[in-house]
Amino acid sequence: MAEAILRDYKSAPLTEKEMAMLDYACQLTEDATKIMPQTHDRLREVGFDDTAILQITLIASWFNYINRVADSLGIGRTDIEQSA
């Protein structure tokens, strides 16, 4: 399942609720300014309450943040010389 999600989550065998959550996380990652009240309404329609929406938002945002920090510092890159 994890490999299918990594390849293309839209073609992975996910529930409607899981798909809506991943769509939201992707939209948050790509351009959070496009998230509208209707976006949150969609999450509620598939069973997420406001607490869950907040948790999804915080977790996705934290991963976006920490990945940008790591990328900017070259963490995990093999082409940067490590200084002693």
Domain layout of the chain by residue ranges = 14-73
Determine the Cα–Cα distance for residues 49 and 80; give it in Å rounded to an integer.
44
Q: Name, in order, each residue with C-beta under 8 angstroms of 43's C-beta and a sequence gap of 6 or more.
A: 20, 21, 24, 52, 53, 56
Q: What is the pLDDT of residue 70?
A: 93
Q: How far apart are alpha carbons 51 and 22 in whole angstroms?
A: 17
pTM, to two decimals: 0.81
Query: Along the 84 residues of the chain, how does pLDDT read in single tens digits?
Result: 888 888 888 889 999 999 999 999 999 999 999 999 999 999 999 999 999 999 999 999 999 999 999 999 998 877 655 554
Architecture of the domain spanning 14-73 = Up-down Bundle (1.20)
